[in-house]
Amino acid sequence: MTTRLYYSDSYLTEFDARVVDRADDGRRVYLDRTAFYPTSGGQPNDTGSLGGAAVRDVIDEGERIAHVLDAPLRGDTVWGRIDWRRRFDHMQQHTGQHLLSAVVADLFGWETVSVHFGADVSTLDVNVPQVTADEVAQAERRANEIVFENRPVAVSYEDAASASGLRKASAREGTLRIVSIEHLDRSACGGTHVRATGEIGPILIGRIDKVRQSARLEFVCGMRAVGRARADHDAVSRLAQVLSAAPNEVGDLVVRQSTRLKEAESRVRQLETELAAHVARERYEAAEPDAAGVRRVVERRTSGSLDELRPLALATISLPRAVFVGAVDAPAPAVLVAASEDSGFDAGSALRAALADAGGRGGGSARLAQGTLPSPAALDRALAAMGADSLGLGARAP
């Protein structure tokens, strides 16, 4: 059985121990005692070094703790050192979570249903479907007030049968390890915690997501909160510079500009439609009707997309007995065929036949069809197959 030194002293960073067992050619080591915290209760494992080898993983096997090393360990006694920066960061996130869970329970009666400590952010799921921005701000403010009060965080051992006042009843029997924040919280927990709330550092709540029937609050504590605030500040400053505005005006300004952009886009679409109607009429009137009285408008562009040709196609086939053939050469050779209902022309079957000859792909209805071709030369062949090369623009030289 491994003695867990972090239970009694979460600030212990170096320790001596005896090797009691090893596996994996000395890469998996068991000690009589350890300060290395194994992944458990949502808190990630410590890293560090053991007898000169790097500790990659620490696994709780129940009675014993396994240390997974990057190199075989020799000798019967070892000296170990944990990566304190990583551990202290975990202690801050973990104690911050106890504090935040207690604060939202006291303020709003929310119960914490699950927690997760991630490499970047941690999350807290509470048993309400929705959380407002105002509630987030209140909880964050109250949590930070308790940080500034620097309340003691203490560990005690009590019998499960008589332990009272726990925020969440424990399913364990026998002795419970209870972590208390003075006048705020008592929780059964086996993790590592800071000794006073001041060491948690600032607590910042991030985005809120709905997860099934719960709300998930993202949060960061300590240096992570400072880092997040710095990154957010830099991002807003860059935006402010681009927009030539003060940082506190950026939000409103972006909303106003986004509304104006939508209005401008809608105006552009309207003008495109009007222009297409005008051009279609002009091109239609210039086209010679064939024996059946059908006029063909052909539009070939060296570059662009079929979407850009669509307004002209639709405007053309709104005219009587009209067929429209549009093509673009680059970046991808493509063709669009449209026919008015009274033209007697089936755009879909005409296109399919032309594509089959030229090795292209596509399809559509009798009114509107489109396809792509493997090369500009294939596009030439497809247009020729529909007789579009002898009308207006003609095919390019091979």
Report the nearest approach of Zn ion to the CB of residue 92 (Å): 12
Give the 3-state secondary structure of residue 301: strand
Distance between CA 227 and CA 369 in Å, rounded? Answer: 54
Span interacting with Zn ion, options 62-70, 113-121, 184-192, 255-263, rule CB under 5 A: 184-192
Q: By C-beta, is 188 or 391 nearer to Zn ion? A: 188
345-384 residues in contact with Zn ion (CB under 5 A) are none
Should residue 44 be labelled a site residue for Zn ion when binding is judged by CB under 5 A? no
Strand order in 175-181's β-sheet? 153-159, 175-181, 185-188
Span interacting with Zn ion, options 190-198, 241-249, 282-290, 316-324, rule CB under 5 A: 190-198
Report the nearest approach of Zn ion to the CB of residue 189 (Å): 3
Strand order in 334-339's β-sheet? 295-303, 322-330, 334-339, 368-372, 361-364
Q: By C-beta, is 190 or 392 nearer to Zn ion? A: 190
Report the nearest approach of Zn ion to the CB of residue 162 (Å): 21
Span interacting with Zn ion, options 158-166, 169-177, 188-196, 256-264, rule CB under 5 A: 188-196
* Cβ partners under 8 Å of residue 90, min gap 6: 37, 43, 44, 46, 117, 192
- Residue 107: CB atoms within 10 Å: 14
Chosen residue from 44, 51, 191, 326 binding Zn ion by CB under 5 A: 191
Report the nearest approach of Zn ion to the CB of residue 94 (Å): 5
- Angle at alpha carbon of residue 126, lines to 122 and 130, rounded to 5°: 110
Report the nearest approach of Zn ion to the CB of residue 122 (Å): 12
Q: The tokens of 94 are what?
A: 């973990």
Distance between CA 28 and CA 384 in Å, rounded? Answer: 74
Report the nearest approach of Zn ion to the CB of residue 178 (Å): 10
Distance between CA 103 and CA 149 in Å, rounded? Answer: 14
User: For 261, how many CA atoms within 13 A lie in the half-sphere containing its CB?
Assistant: 6
Report the nearest approach of Zn ion to the CB of residue 263 (Å): 53
Q: By C-beta, is 189 or 205 nearer to Zn ion? A: 189
Q: By C-beta, is 189 or 351 nearer to Zn ion? A: 189
Q: By C-beta, is 55 or 181 nearer to Zn ion? A: 181
Size of the site for Zn ion (CB under 5 A): 2
Q: Measuring CA to CA, how many Å separate 62 from each of 3, 15, 48, 317?
A: 12, 21, 21, 76
- Residue 40: CB atoms within 10 Å: 14
Chosen residue from 29, 189, 378, 388 binding Zn ion by CB under 5 A: 189
Q: By C-beta, is 81 or 177 nearer to Zn ion? A: 177
Count H helices, E strands: the chain? 8, 20
Distance between CA 301 and CA 323 in Å, rounded? Answer: 17
Report the nearest approach of Zn ion to the CB of residue 226 (Å): 22
Q: By C-beta, is 147 or 189 nearer to Zn ion? A: 189
- Return the closest-CA partner of residue 147 out of 187, 102, 99: 99
Span interacting with Zn ion, options 150-158, 191-199, 265-273, 348-356, rule CB under 5 A: 191-199
Report the nearest approach of Zn ion to the CB of residue 190 (Å): 7
Q: Given the rule CB under 5 A, which residues bind Zn ion?
A: 189, 191
